A and B are shown apart, each in its own frame.
Chain A
Amino acid sequence: MAATATLARVLRARFTPLIVLAALMVLVPVLAPSSFHLRVAALVWIFALAALGLTILMGYAGQVSLGHAGFVGIGAYAVAIGPARLGLDPLLCLVLGAVLAGAIAYGVGRPILKLKGYYLAIATLGFGVIVALVLHSEAEITGGPDGMAVSRLSLFGWRVTGALNWYWVTSGALLIGALLALNIAASPTGRALRALHDSEVAAAGTGIDVGAKKLAAFVVAAVYGAVAGGLLAAMNGLITPEAARFSHSIELVAMVIIGGLGSVFGTVVGAAFLVVLPQMLTALQEYEQAVLGLLIMVFMIFLPQGIVPSIRAYFLERLP
């Protein structure tokens, strides 16, 4: 009995997802030390970081975005363009990219966050399409459809090279991102976001400035996306407008929903699902996409709350 009570407490504890995630991060290089596996794992952490932005925007505040990859693209190209065209430090450009994405989100968010549901979805979709279009067509600056090379990132004098080092850098970034997302959830801001998710009129009735809170969530989400994009560009050493493409926005939304809307650990699981599974399914060759699609459908039918909240609820119902 004592064991089950402890398990129930662990499942409910606020920082459990963070500790499990950190343990996983230490285990992966032990269990799968090849650089291929580490690169795939680093990609999972990067996409999870981008998707965490959507966890705050969609999962907490209930505001859909189908243009999130646009912010990933802005962050990625900031890290590509800054050093190549302006001679700036790549790390500084990662920060500037996040600031730029936040500023653009502020400007774009003010008018479009007045929209709700499907209308907001289409407006954000339009934003993502515009970013991808600009990255495609401004070839003199962005290199056009072929993309551009990205110079090496150095963290305070340490040049980040090799799969293992990138694995640790992306792990650190995701851990910080997850910590901040968990912090927001357990704060007055988090309560306000979850409140307006359920009823905007009642949230306003308690004194919450609904428009300002939505905008804050949108800006924070954009910053998450841009940092992830910057890391993606610097790790790959090459970036193309594909980073901002529409289907990429959909993948990010799918990660958040498959893993469990509003769940920080679920977001990581969702990212792993959509990054690792295609790698495992390559043996199926031309059936890969079909099987992936089928698996997504099966998971959504049997775990409609998403993987992590469904499993958590299963155990909590059976524990004291």
Chain B
Amino acid sequence: MNSEKLQVLQSKALDIRKLTVEMIGRLGVGHIGGALSIVDLLTVLYYDIANVDPKNPQNPDRDRIVLSKGHAGPALYSVLADKGYFPIEEIKTLNQPGTKLPSHCDMNKTIGIDMTAGSLGQGLSCAIGMALAAKIDKKDYKVFCIMGDGESQEGQVWEALMYAGNMGLDNLVIFIDNNGMQIDGMTKDINSIEPLDEKGNAFNLHTQRINGHDFEAIENAINTALDTKGKCSLIVMDTVKGYGVDWVASKGYGCHSMSISEEQWRNFCQKERD
């Protein structure tokens, strides 16, 4: 990745973080930690890789992006608003009565959302259905599914991983946002899902493990996944919950859902680019 592109992506990721913090900040409380940990991935996907068009959001040939960890919705809403799927002013309506932007992603409320999520563990099965539909129709769109590490404790995730691996769905790329934390504590202390790379390989998935905040690593991993024929890809993203906002990340697992003061979000949104 050349330095110019890297700078563009870094700058875009900061914009998205600011929007995310503002959106949740204006409400005063929300799932900020797990939203911030996927911002860098969303930035690479939406501004570098995925074939999506805000002017034609229902294009049947578009790439699909399923945010299975639906509570990170505000990060995705920030991207969609920034890309022009809906007016940026709408971010002020998060969770307000009658909003199009609910806590958890809803495909029937928000333009640009490909699958409803919120009850954890369900998105990957849906993403598999989308990938199978592409195979039936001989279309070459890709499906990207973003899951959480805590979410991966759900049994359905493993039903789905097994089937995706066995079917060799090379048009499906699965990400696990491995920030190591869940509501009640550290994932490793509650019910560890590691070793994720070994599990991925054992499920016959083309598995990569990367730093989920390294833009170049994310881009390379996705391109490698898309170049790998006959195998479904799993990319384990080692991330930091609350990444990019010190007063969020420093809360540890407490940042899964936390209160944010007006002073906090306004200060962060004035932050200059490094």
The answer to whether A and B interact is no
